[in-house]
Amino acid sequence: MAISLRQLSYFTALAEAGSFARAAERVHVTQPALSQQIRELEASLGVELVERLPRGIRLTRAGHEVHARALQILSQVNDLQGAVRFHHGLGGRLYLGLIPTVAPYLLPGVLTGIRTRDVTLELRVHEAQTATVLRDLSEGRIDAAVIALPVPEPGFTAEPLFEDRFLLAGSAESLRPFEAEPALTPTHVPPDRLLLLDEGHCLADQALEVCGLKHRRKTDLGASSLGTLSGLVAQGFGLTFLPEIAAGSETAGGQLALARFSPPEPSRTIALVRRASSAGGAWFDDLAAILRTAGEALTATARSAVPARAGSSR
């Protein structure tokens, strides 16, 4: 009996979900239908791939091997489909992953750019932290991803899009002590007042790095989104770093105040990433151009609203 791509897809879902019920829900089939496909795959290979447990499954040694190879096969099939789908540039359906500190701010401009260019593109967006979007990209679930450099693992090709500088954010009263600083640097921010996003967000790691800190403070009120974090610091619960692309949205309520650091300003580079094995070309370049235009518009607005500090040549 021949092995089918459907069987491999169902098996990877089972391996990752850990139970037949969750896997069936993930691939939108009934549990008996998924179970039948797994049995047929095991029959074709002549080995048991999973141990059926009272509360889930456990991969056998052969199951781990098949899972690893199935991911490679499905990724290559996705690359083949993508090469044909985007042969003449952007068009059809594209799955794009974005990190949470970029997605809500960049997407409105991206969608406007797609309409302006009259691109016949159906964009499906997946928002998740860097590790998750890169895993989905590696396994072929999405076509490309927007993350902050550097790319933490091999196997990807990155196209830098724009520089996104960090601003110091807090209430007007919280920022007042920094107004007299002739050269404001991240090290001037008291560690016990710095609020960060939850662990796993690359922006939190970057904030610690630019401040020269190795660890969070024990009482850090970590937040799951920049919106929540901005709301906390606007009410005087500390200070945080806010990317320029978020400045317009997060200051719209009028309570959040911003200050610019002296050169060299801390920043991150936002990039569009694809699998190194996938075909680049017109679709990737066109998408990068749309993303770059949207990002540069946001940073230009932020640099106009929060100008360089007095005495700065940048």
Q: Render pLDDT for 254-302 as a digit per residue (tens, 0 to 9).
A: 889 999 999 999 999 999 999 988 767 788 888 999 999 999 999 999 9
Report the pLDDT averaged over residues 120-127. 84
Q: Let me know: does 262 contact 312? Beta carbons within 8 Å.
A: yes
**Could you report how far apart the first and last alpha carbons of the chain are, in Å?**
67
Structure tokens at 180: 């007299």
Check if the beta carbon of residue 263 is closer than 8 Å to that of residue 312. Answer: yes
Q: Are residues 151 and 174 in the same domain?
A: no
pLDDT at 219: 46
Within this chain, do residues 239 and 281 fall inside the same structural domain, yes or no? no
Instruction: Read off the pLDDT of residues 83-93 as tens digits, 9 standing for 90 and up.
Output: 655 555 666 77
107 with 240, same domain: the answer is no
CA distances from 108 to 8, 90, 144, 291, 295 (A): 36, 18, 18, 10, 10
Joined together, the tokens standing for residue 276 give 């190194």
CATH number at residue 43: 1.10.10.10
Domain that holds residue 199: 164-267
Query: Can you give the pTM of this predicted structure?
Result: 0.73
Q: In the structure, what pLDDT confidence band is assigned to residue 311 with cuts at 50, 70 and 90? A: low
User: Does 118 have pLDDT greater than 60?
Assistant: no
Q: Answer whether residue 245 is part of any domain.
A: yes
What per-residue confidence (pLDDT) applies to 218? 47
Q: Cis link prior to 54 (omega < 30° from 0)?
A: no
- Rounded to whole angstroms, the Cα distance separating 105 from 136 reads 22
Residue 74 lies in a domain: yes
Q: Do 71 and 27 sit in the same domain of this protein?
A: yes
| Same domain? 142 vs 78 | no
State which of 25, 48, 83 marks the end of a domain.
Answer: 83
Would you say 288 and 149 are in contact if contact means Cβ atoms under 8 Å apart? no
Q: Is residue 261 located within the same domain as residue 197?
A: yes
**Pair 133, 280 in one domain:** yes
Q: Is residue 42 domain-shared with residue 100, that is, in the same domain?
A: no
- State the CATH number of the domain containing residue 106: 3.40.190.10
The CB-side HSE value for 110 (13 A sphere, CA atoms) comes to: 24
3-state SS, residue 98: strand
Domain count, the chain: 3
